[in-house]
Structure formats: C-alpha cells, structure tokens
Amino acid sequence: MAQPRIQYKTNAQMRTMREAGLVLIKALDAAVAAARPGITTAEIDKVFAAVLAEAGATSNFLGYYDFPATICTSVNEEVVHGIPGNRVLADGDIISIDGGAIVDGWHSDSARTVIVGNADPEDQRLSDVTENAMWHGIAAAAKGRFVGDIGAAIDDYVSSVPGKPLGILEDYVGHGIGSEMHQAPDVLNYRTSHRGPKLKPGMCLAIEPMLVRGGIETVTLEDDWTVVTTDGARSCQWEHTVAIHEKGIWVLTAPDGGASRLAPLGVTPVPVP
C-alpha cells in the first residue's frame, strides 16, 4: 500500500507558516489569559477568534469536518477535540486549548495546557512532563534521522521521569502540516520499531504528545468529537508546529523559535532563511 505523499515546503512557504504561527501565538496568549474560574469555554473561544479576525487570519478548526468552533477546549478527563460551550471552568480544572490559524493558505497548529486557579501538584506535574516531552521530541526532530526518532525521544523522556508513571496516548498522534492542517507523515508519540520517513528539509511537523494520569484507553462522546479517558483520569496536551530547513529547525509557533527551551537540550534553532 502506497504511503501518502509528504509535502515539502519552500523557505518562502515556511516563512508564511511562521506568520500564521505568530498570529496563533497571540491568539493562544489571549485564550490562556482568559482561562480562569467562572468563564465558559465558549467565551474563551470568542477571545481566540477575535484575535484571528483582527489579524486577518482564519481558523483551520472552524468548519473542519463541521467542527463548530475555532479552538478545542478539553477539560480534565477530556483528552482532545473538546467543543467549546457552556461549561464553566472551576478552580483546579486542567484545560488544554488547541487552535490553529491560516495565513495566505498556510497553516499553523499549537496547543497549551492551563491549570485554572489552584493547581493539584499531580496535575502540574502532568502538564510539566507533557510540555517537556514535547520539547524532547522537537529536539529529536533537529538531531534525529527519522520521524520515528521523535516518538522515541518523547517515550524515553516520559519513561525516565521519577514518580507515578504517566500514560502516553497512542490513538492520537502528531502530523505533517502545510497547505492543509493534517498531512503526512504521522508523528507518533511513543517508541516503535517503525522508523518512519527520513527527516528532510521542507518538512513541517506538528509535534503533540498527549499524556494521562491513568489508563490510555479512550472513548468518543455522543457529540462525535470529544474524546475522554474511560477511567476518568485527567489528561494533558502540548503542541508546536516545527519547520525543518537546510540550516536547522525553527519552531513556528514559539516566539523565539524554541531557542530558550531547546538550548538545554543541545539544540540551537535557526530562523527560516
């Protein structure tokens, strides 16, 4: 069976994706700032949408297979694809906000996790480990030879963290991104014998580990979107869009291209030339 073709971007196309990434950074900044006790997830969606509109960008989530909002808001046991609505955030909730932006036909995609009000230390650990795992995966995109090296690095880091083990979801993975939000190749978040395609200049990848405090089994709710853990355990998602070019890598959805978080991992990102 033939593998889906990977879209290799030119530097100019990746620079446009960086523009989409910069808009997305501002929109996520606003959404994260709005996530506080007493606000509904629909109100957070409106805040995010307003930033896109002001920048002249469009949402790649709204209308995607009829998805009704500009972000996914996944709260507590909701893993991914939560639909913003009348759910009111409460003190101690953990919420993953996943969004994207399109500029001149080119996409960006990023997710952050926020703990509302007072954090349960185990929820904070979950978020911290997930975020750190993402950065280890991004570093592997710079140092590795194959796409599979990204998942191996994420898995190895998560397995190395002391304390109660955290589960890595296997049903939902990262992906290529470019003129469409979801493209080849799949970017697994766990170690496997399958190396995947070679990492090459022109690839743009959305790297997005999803971790849970309990079992990795999930179920989709009746809205056909919201995915929850079957055991009700809390979950977390972090995501960045990363460009690979001839000079190195650049994190398109990080303000500094990922420099501050990649330096301790021995990687110096380089802006797209």
Which residues are annotated binding-site positions for a divalent metal cation?
98, 109, 175, 208, 239
Pairwise CA distance, residues 215 & 212, whole Å:
7
Bind-site residues: 81, 98, 109, 175, 182, 208, 239
Q: Looking at 18-63, which runs of residues are DSSP E strands?
A: none
The binding site for substrate consists of 81, 182
Q: What gap in Å lies between CA 14 and CA 177, rounded to an integer?
A: 10
Helix 11-34 vs helix 41-55: crossing angle, to nearest 10: 140
- Per-residue tokens: 15: 């620079």
Q: Which amino acid is at 72?
A: C
CA 58/CA 44 separation, integer angstroms: 17
Q: What 3-state class would DSSP assign to 17?
A: helix
Residues linked to residue 41 through DSSP beta bridges, in sequence order: none
- Least Cα distance to 207 among 272, 142, 124, 163 occurs for 142
Beta bridge pairs of residue 229: 218
CA 223/CA 184 separation, integer angstroms: 27
Q: Could you give the CA distance from residue 233 to residue 263 in angstroms, rounded to a whole number?
A: 33
